Amino acid sequence: MQSADVVHVIDDDEAMRKSLALLLRVAKIEVQTYESAMSFLNALSKIRPGCIVTDVRMPGLSGIDLLKRLQQTKLNMPVIVITGHGDVSLAVEAMKCGAVDFLEKPFDDEVLLAAIRSALNARATEAAQNANRAGIQEKLGTLSNREKDVLDGLVAGKSNKIIAFDLGISARTVEIYRANVMTKMGASSLSDLVRMALIAGVFDMDRSPDTAKSR
């Protein structure tokens, strides 16, 4: 993390903006807040490098819309998306649009700070990325066919109940397979698991949750 790095917080909820700004300042991380994605985009030419923390559900331009706009610019800045409970499919879409991580509310302050520091410190080389991809693919090779089916559903943003319905098994059985997948992949969270699958390139990043098919 460079001393000049700034965390750009985008959220239409004023209380959340102030809370996050206070947390970051106490952690001695410079922060700039914006009440909307558009206000951030309007300031794009003047912002300093760092990372972006944005809510996914906002009036006007959503966090997903913002990610798509950023893909059209030359701005190379990691984005962490904050989602509400039950917004896993939106979080998956956000990661497909370039977000490096997502956090589900309510989240622990230290989890957010760790995600931000990780994003600010990210300087992966091409060699490291290739090694990471190879390692993930090796772990994927240890999954059973049914575990891959469950992983497929998770990456598509489906709930345990929907995956269970698609596969003709109980939701409890899906939970067991999901736990096995997390263990075998060495994933610490759902976002970590989704990121691994996308990095490995095993799943179609353009596929939507509605059109995903279980194998």
How far is it, in rounded angstroms, from Cα 151 to Cα 153? 5
pLDDT at 206: 42
Does the pTM exceed 0.85?
no
At residue 212, the pLDDT reads: 38
**Residue ranges of the chain with pLDDT lower than 70?**
1-3, 85-86, 123-129, 202-215
pLDDT at 83: 84
Cα-based angle 137, 68, 113 (whole degrees, multiple of 5) = 65
Residues ≥6 apart with Cβ < 8 Å to 197: 136, 140, 151, 155, 203
What are the residue ranges spanned by the domains of the chain?
A: 6-121, 126-200
| pLDDT for residue 86 | 66
**What is the per-residue pLDDT across 10-47, written as a single tens digit (0 to 9) for each?**
999 999 999 999 999 999 999 999 999 999 999 998 88
The domains spanning 6-121 and 126-200 adopt the same CATH topology: no
Tokens 């290739």 belong to 130
Please tell me the CATH code under which domain 126-200 is placed: 1.10.10.10
3-state secondary structure the chain: CCCCCEEEEECCCHHHHHHHHHHHHHCCCCEEEECCHHHHHHCHHHCCCEEEEEECCCCCCCHHHHHHHHHCCCCCCCEEEEECCCCHHHHHHHHHCCCCEEEECCCCHHHHHHHHHHHHHCCCCHHHHHHHHHHHHHHHCCCCHHHHHHHHHHHCCCCHHHHHHHHCCCHHHHHHHHHHHHHHHCCCCHHHHHHHHHHHCCCCCCCCCCCCCCC
79, 52 contact by CB (below 8 A): yes
Q: Which CATH number fits domain 6-121: 3.40.50.2300, 3.40.50.880, 1.50.10.20, 3.30.420.40?
A: 3.40.50.2300
Long-range contacts of 23-26 (CB under 8 A, 24+ apart): 23/109, 23/112, 23/113, 24/113, 24/116
> Which residue in the block uniquely carries the two structure tokens 């240890």?
142
Q: Which two tokens stand for residue 137?
A: 């693919």
Q: What are phi and psi of 3, to 5 degrees?
A: -65, -25
Distance (Å, whole) CA 35 – CA 4: 22
